[in-house]
């Protein structure tokens, strides 16, 4: 499904303010403290409708206008009560990637440890801090390499995660250089090959975004930039596996989108309504 991004503009008196709290947690898997910025809409006494969003590259949350956006959407009754845990990146080149499969330049060498941090440490910490036994839904999202990380973590931990949002995911991530004569898009794009060959059938919902003006690279010379080709290919792989209803795979393509937070911020309201909308 192709959806043209036009942006979402909401007006509100912002009578109900979201809150932001800075926090940190020590990860034994990563062997470091992880900084967190925790955003929350007003929380009801009955937390059965409370939803959770884990956001990679959380140090950039202000670039998305996250607090103002939460105020606007919540005040307009567009989203359920929501907690956003914005996870500040550490060594993102090493920690963001596909677990246990570094790329051709050995990037993502600690992706397995970051996966374990989310699964074994952060999830339990956030539940305890929010005072819930179970969130209505759990979504993980990220941009670029952080988006690649997000979908890999969701795929690996669908017992805890329900939905994933990827903005301009680094789906070109490959285990062989394109200059190698044996390189193949079908076999050497790591995340796409992992999902294509997996026997797992995780019950996830997917929100995928790409912009046509993010780059000029075009490996197959078809006139379509690689970030768009790679994201369309992933959506097609997911549909062909028939692991979820077609409507659970949303592909958003912007004809003017660049690889930056200005473009991602324009798409973020629609993503939040998809992830936590009423």
Domains of the chain: 2-276 (3.40.50.1820)
pLDDT at 113: 98
Tell me which DSSP letter residue 255 carries.
S
Distance (Å) of CA 276 to CA 49, 74, 80, 125, 162: 10, 10, 6, 21, 11
Average pLDDT for the chain = 94
The tens digit of pLDDT for each residue in 198-237 reads 999 999 999 999 999 999 998 989 999 999 999 999 999 9
| Distance between CA atoms of residues 160 and 81, nearest Å | 19
Kindly indicate the confidence band of residue 8, based on its pLDDT and cuts at 50, 70 and 90.
very low
Q: Residues of the chain with pLDDT > 70: what percent?
A: 94
pLDDT at 73: 97
Kindly indicate the confidence band of residue 269, based on its pLDDT and cuts at 50, 70 and 90.
very high
Calculate mean pLDDT across residues 2-22. Answer: 59
Residue 137 and residue 40 in contact, taking contact as beta carbons nearer than 8 Å: no
Q: Residues of the chain with pLDDT > 90: what percent?
A: 91
The tens digit of pLDDT for each residue in 160-169 reads 999 999 999 9
The tens digit of pLDDT for each residue in 46-99 reads 999 999 999 999 999 999 999 999 999 999 999 999 999 999 999 999 999 999
Kindly indicate the confidence band of residue 15, based on its pLDDT and cuts at 50, 70 and 90.
low
Q: Where are the alpha helices (DSSP H) in the chain?
A: 66-75, 92-95, 111-116, 123-130, 145-156, 185-188, 190-197, 226-241, 261-276
């Amino acid at each position: 499904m192709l959806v043209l991004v036009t942006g979402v503009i909401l007006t509100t008196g912002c009578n109900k303010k979201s809150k932001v709290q800075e926090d940190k947690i020590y990860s034994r898997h990563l062997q470091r403290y992880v900084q967190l910025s925790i955003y929350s809409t007003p929380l009801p006494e009955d937390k059965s409708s409370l939803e959770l969003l884990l956001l990679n590259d959380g140090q950039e949350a202000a670039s998305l206008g996250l607090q103002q956006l939460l105020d606007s959407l919540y005040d307009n009754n567009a989203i359920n009560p929501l907690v956003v845990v914005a996870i500040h990146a550490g060594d993102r080149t090493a920690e963001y990637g596909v677990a246990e499969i570094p790329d051709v330049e050995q990037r993502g060498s600690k992706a397995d440890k970051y996966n374990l941090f989310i699964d074994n440490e952060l999830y339990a910490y956030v539940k305890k801090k929010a005072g819930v036994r179970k969130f209505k839904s759990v979504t993980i999202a990220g941009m670029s390499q952080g988006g690649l990380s997000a979908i890999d973590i969701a795929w690996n931990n669908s017992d805890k995660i329900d939905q994933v949002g990827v903005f301009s995911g680094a789906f070109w991530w490959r285990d062989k250089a394109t200059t190698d004569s044996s390189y193949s898009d079908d076999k050497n794009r790591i995340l796409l090959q992992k999902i294509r060959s997996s026997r797992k059938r995780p019950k996830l919902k997917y929100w995928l975004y790409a912009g046509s003006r993010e780059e000029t690279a075009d490996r197959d010379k078809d006139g379509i930039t690689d970030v768009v080709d790679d994201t369309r290919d992933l959506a097609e792989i997911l549909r062909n596996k028939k692991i979820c209803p077609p409507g659970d795979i949303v592909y958003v393509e912007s004809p003017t989108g660049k690889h930056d937070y200005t473009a991602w911020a324009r798409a973020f309201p629609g993503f939040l309504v998809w992830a936590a909308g009423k």
